[in-house]
Chain A
Amino acid sequence: DGGITQSPKYLFRKEGQNVTLSCEQNLNHDAMYWYRQDPGQGLRLIYYSQIVNDFQKGDIAEGYSVSREKKESFPLTVTSAQKNPTAFYLCASSTQVAYEQYFGPGTRLTVT
């Protein structure tokens, strides 16, 4: 069954700790994306990658980092530099030629 998996669904961390969110896809998509969702603000793009070993900053990249060592995987690290990390994080993927994105179930991160 093809799709995008994100783990864990809920994540709790203490302030000052880095945390890595997992995103894996078996759709054979080249492009992958990370979004942050806050109530009433829609989706904001954090980072995206159109090909392995390459990625670009989105609109709100500060305090986040990513890697793209494998086509299937695009982990997101929320660093201690991110001032307000508590949010719902969504991973998505798409082919290079079609523009619709397919989304994972999301990870809710709570930092206290």
Chain B
Amino acid sequence: AQSVTQPDIHITVSEGASLELRCNYSYGATPYLFWYVQSPGQGLQLLLKYFSGDTLVQGIKGFEAEFKRSQSSFNLRKPSVHWSDAAEYFCAVGDEAAGNKLTFGGGTRVLVKP
């Protein structure tokens, strides 16, 4: 069965420091990969996506992610965190066999210290 793991439930980072959120997946086929962000009580906003091609993808709000097939990972990074980046982040994976369905990880909540 397809699965997505976000090993870190909570991460605390100081404002201005770098951030890396981990995502590992278990999929048989070539996956489509996404990162979403959710502010408290809100819907999810798409940060970036990977379908094919360059394994380093750029997204909105200064985020980037790198697809590493050998490690089945799609980690999200930001060089310098702003207080407004405090939110919950979800990794999601889909593939052609699943049609339009996505499988979501459990999420990582990011706290930003001043």
Dominant secondary structure at the A interface: strand
Q: How far is the CA of A92 from the CA of B43 in the complex (A)?
A: 9
Say yes or no: is A40 at the interface (Cβ < 8 Å to chain B).
yes
Contact A105 B43 (CB under 8 A): yes
Mark contacts of B86-114 with chain A using CB atoms, 8 A cut-off: 1 yes-contact digit, 0 otherwise: 00001000100001111011110000000
8 Å CB contact of A48 from B43, B49, B100? B100
Say yes or no: is A112 at the interface (Cβ < 8 Å to chain B).
no
Say yes or no: is B32 at the interface (Cβ < 8 Å to chain A).
yes
Q: How far is the CA of A96 from the CA of B94 in the complex (A)?
A: 13
Which residue on chain A has the smallest CB distance to residue B102?
A101
- Interface contact tally, CB-CB below 8 A: 54
What bracket does the count of chain B residues touching chain A fall in? 20 to 34
Say yes or no: is A102 at the interface (Cβ < 8 Å to chain B).
yes
Residues from chain B with a CB closer than 8 A to the CB of A45 are: 101
Contact B90 A43 (CB under 8 A): yes
Instruction: Give the size of the chain A interface in residues (CB under 8 angstroms).
Output: 26
8 Å CB contact of B42 from A50, A102, A106? A106
Q: How far is the CA of A62 from the CA of B106 in the complex (A)?
A: 21
Say yes or no: is B44 at the interface (Cβ < 8 Å to chain A).
yes
Say yes or no: is B29 at the interface (Cβ < 8 Å to chain A).
no
Say yes or no: is B11 at the interface (Cβ < 8 Å to chain A).
no
Q: How far is the CA of A106 from the CA of B42 in the complex (A)?
A: 6
Mark contacts of B44-63 with chain A using CB atoms, 8 A cut-off: 1 yes-contact digit, 0 otherwise: 11100101000000000000
Say yes or no: is A31 at the interface (Cβ < 8 Å to chain B).
yes
Residues of A participating in the B interface, judged by any CB pair closer than 8 Å: 4, 6, 31, 33, 40-43, 45, 48, 50, 58, 88, 90, 92, 94, 96, 99-106, 108
